[in-house]
Copies of this chain bind each other. A is one copy, B any other.
């Protein structure tokens, strides 16, 4: 098989499935993975596809590919995501906000998990769509470009009609006296109604945001049921939260 032919085949596959794996291509075409990698490199130089670890993506779908390793303090968020994922059981309805911690959660979901996720966060939707067994429900409204999430009365109405099992909040600031706070008015409204519409609310936050404050209040500490950080459950900084009745993970 000629090189050009091979590359044409690869492009065909990419445009067909929106993604390819070096390993399967190498088997299909019977050449070494090295050769595939070189082909992918050349094609990505020409802008015909986007090379990623393990394969390539179609350029039409992949522009907002959030390279996972550019996320701020990723290792901690990964730990948080794993703890959070363990709360989700098959068949649950889960509301999630936006934010990079939520994205990590989306990536940490075990492939066999069958659940329904409801969100207005576009990056989160993209992640959920990649999972084989997860249904995604989009909350519609106008998009706030800064937060890449749908916000507004429509979105809030829609959330109010929902009774979800769980709600995950990417949290920007939490302290005992002021509760959970944030800086974006629209996002705050959204999170408020998400908490109201869920049986159980879970706050995901990296430890550096504990005992910090933002201008707008979402809810009191008492309103959330679980607090997940990257720290061990018995870390002293978490003790006061535990004593005020929150489950720590």
- A-side residues, CB < 8 A to B, are 2-5, 8, 11-12, 15-16, 19, 21, 50, 52-55, 57-58, 60-61, 63-67, 70-72, 100, 103, 120, 122-123, 125-127, 129-130, 135-143, 145, 148, 150, 154-155, 158
Q: Are A60 and B71 neighbours in the complex by a CB distance under 8 Å?
A: yes
Q: How far is the CB of A61 from chain B (nearest CB, A)?
A: 5
- Which of B71, B138, B142 sits near A135, CB closer than 8 Å? B142
27 A-B residue pairs with CB within 8 Å? A2-B19, A2-B52, A3-B52, A3-B53, A4-B57, A11-B66, A12-B67, A12-B72, A15-B66, A16-B67, A16-B70, A58-B71, A60-B103, A61-B123, A61-B148, A63-B127, A64-B126, A125-B143, A129-B143, A129-B145, A137-B140, A137-B141, A138-B139, A139-B140, A140-B150, A140-B154, A140-B158
Q: Are B12 and A57 neighbours in the complex by a CB distance under 8 Å?
A: no
Complex contacts, A137 vs chain B, CB 8 Å: 140-143
Complex contacts, A154 vs chain B, CB 8 Å: 140
This protein's copies in its complex: 2
- Which of B4, B54, B67 sits near A52, CB closer than 8 Å? B4
Q: How far is the CB of A65 from chain B (nearest CB, A)?
A: 5
Complex contacts, A64 vs chain B, CB 8 Å: 126, 129
- Which of B4, B65, B130, B135 sits near A8, CB closer than 8 Å? B65
Q: How far is the CB of A179 from chain B (nearest CB, A)?
A: 28
What's the Cα separation between A123 and B123 when bound, in Å?
A: 11
Complex contacts, A138 vs chain B, CB 8 Å: 120, 122, 138-143, 150
